Chain A
């Protein structure tokens, strides 16, 4: 349980921030904190893939978009005109469709958000398996370009397909009722509950991943990062481990996409853009690659600052700059600059790594 201990101060921080914001009447900060928490969910998933398994992905905004767009499209586009379709009838009789009325009094029949969420996540997982099997055989530049290509294809698709709203994206996505009256929505009244929903999901994700990297699988993944051949020789099923991690991180991205889309009430093509994927990679790099806590912390801080508009029109430039500076001067992340270097000097090992850093 020791590895989960840092969760307690984090939880205290989360509650503290909410109380502070309520007390000082600055609840609007919670909106960005909620969004940052969802982005961080994607980032910790990517962190396991990049930092622990050592596989770069420049297409994770694609999985985020798959989750968000499928959920948004299913819960927003009316199925009234397909009412005679046997599948629609079956879903309706199973209680998986919601009927209602639009603002203009037209009849509306959409998929239940829970089912839509499920479909979105399964779709992302299946696509990740389908893409992952061939892609993960590649290494280095080839892997980077292939995942980048995947991201661009998804971007082109959402931009060109009418069902996904083309350049406008999908708006007026309904709330996502969870349980006990809680629902994921952007209503002002729901701000505080939604803040806790987002952080609850992020913390659950964190616990799952912390347990994962401390398990047999986690050790296998670190072996792959060190040397794939050596890990293979030691009996680690490298292909399966890499694929599982890829799919897991895709699922994290899709969940983040689904929830953030319901929270924002819409999604646009920019969420699928290459720049978003690069930004996620940048944040994982800043956090220190194989450092879940660092990735989560940086995910929250940088996304929060970016969403608050602190960087203004230099938003992308700031992330590009961070990426270069971190990779040039501190490839192990800013959290590890002093501590690790000193530790290494103390024990005098990893000389080779030191040379690389210098």
Chain B
């Protein structure tokens, strides 16, 4: 393998990896405040991309993306308010089945609105053939957008949780819900907020990745599985772990193309997921104590 090809694969891996990391952080935010794995996480990404594509007919790109993110946040809030808010300590099995149901319903809504066709947003800068050269590898500027936006989201999220009072309240809710309630924090609102935050991140990721990976009504399941793999790999609940694991999975997938047929590429992520679940359920980077502390 030449060094150019190596860098090419590496950059492709980082691109996909940062998207997986964002989806995984979305999982983590909701998991931390509720203990629920939201199986409909991938659908937020789909909604973000699809809504932006539709809105683009009426308004310029930045506005369309902004509005799409806001609309997806509203969808996230509605899902939480309609299906989750009023349940009193539901069992895990019940929550799994409800979120799976939400994921199916969202997909069906999407297929009846947008059909089965594959769509995409235009490239933010240039077009399909615009490329820039990095260390001999030629990549689309969109790749930089994906990596930059993901990185920015990660940093902003960190600042939000560390410095703002709402962020601190959410963290309090994550580490001990009962104690947070006793301190006068409205934990129910925090859960809604976590859904809104998670939906917004997913939607923005769905918009920036759309020119490269395209958007389709059924893209959610695959992304959700990969995002979950990454979340587990990095230790459930840990954002830093999610980023490291996301990049790792992205790079492994990218390089696997040179070894196994493309049709099996998805199977690799799942195989990694199964192996991790069997051997080290607390994740590569997580220790049992750390996962008990549930730091963002």
Contacts and interface: CB of A to CB of B under 8 A. Distances in A.
Interface of A: 54, 56, 58, 134-135, 137-142, 144-146, 148-150, 152-153, 156-157, 159-160, 274-275, 278, 281-282, 285, 313-314, 316-317, 319-321, 323-324, 327-328, 331, 355-356, 358
B101 interface: yes
B277 A142 contact: yes
Nearest to B271: A153
B128 interface: no
Interface of B: 37, 39, 83, 87-94, 96-98, 100-105, 107-109, 112, 221, 225, 228, 232, 261, 263-264, 266-267, 270-271, 273-274, 277-278, 281
A156 B108 contact: no
A328 B277 contact: no
Contacts of A156: 263-264, 266-267
A230 B101 CA distance: 31
B222 to A, nearest CB: 8
A152 B264 CA distance: 11
8 contacts: A54-B93, A134-B274, A135-B277, A144-B39, A316-B108, A317-B104, A321-B101, A324-B98
8 closest Cβ contacts across the A-B interface?
A320-B104, A317-B108, A323-B101, A324-B101, A160-B263, A134-B278, A149-B270, A140-B92
Nearest to B87: A328
Contacts of B88: 355-356, 358
A144 B96 contact: yes
A278 B228 CA distance: 18
Nearest to B269: A149
Residues of A contacting B: mostly: helix
A117 B182 CA distance: 61
B225 A141 contact: no
B102 A146 contact: no
Interface of B is mostly: helix
B274 A146 contact: yes
B226 to A, nearest CB: 11
Contacts of B274: 134-135, 146, 149-150
Given A153-B271, A160-B261, A356-B88, A281 B281 contact: no
A272 B83 CA distance: 29
A323 B103 CA distance: 11
A149 B272 CA distance: 10
A127 to B, nearest CB: 13
Given A142-B277, A145-B273, A316-B108, A56 B264 contact: no
A356 B86 CA distance: 11
Contacts, number: 114
B264 to A, nearest CB: 6
B104 A149 contact: no
A278 B100 contact: yes
A328 B91 contact: no
A140 B97 CA distance: 11
A138 B263 contact: no
Contact of A320 (B105, B261, B273): B105
Given A56-B93, A144-B96, A160-B263, A324 B105 contact: yes
A346 to B, nearest CB: 22
Contacts of B83: 324, 328
Nearest to A274: B221
A141 B96 contact: yes
A285 B108 CA distance: 20
B97 A327 contact: yes
Contacts of B104: 275, 278, 316-317, 319-320, 323
B32 to A, nearest CB: 14
Nearest to B103: A320
Given A149-B270, A152-B266, A319-B104, A281 B97 contact: yes
Contacts of A160: 261, 263-264
A275 B94 CA distance: 18
Contacts of B89: 355-356
A285 B225 contact: no
A141 B97 contact: no
A152 B96 contact: no
A331 B90 CA distance: 10
Nearest to B98: A327
Contact of B277 (A145, A275, A327, A355): A145
B228 A145 contact: yes
Given A320-B108, A327-B94, A328-B83, 10 more contacts: A141-B92, A145-B37, A145-B277, A146-B277, A152-B266, A275-B104, A316-B108, A317-B112, A320-B101, A323-B97
A56 B91 CA distance: 13
A327 B102 CA distance: 11
B255 to A, nearest CB: 19
Nearest to A285: B97
Nearest to A318: B108
Contacts of B37: 141, 144-145
Contacts of A281: 97, 100
A141 B38 CA distance: 10
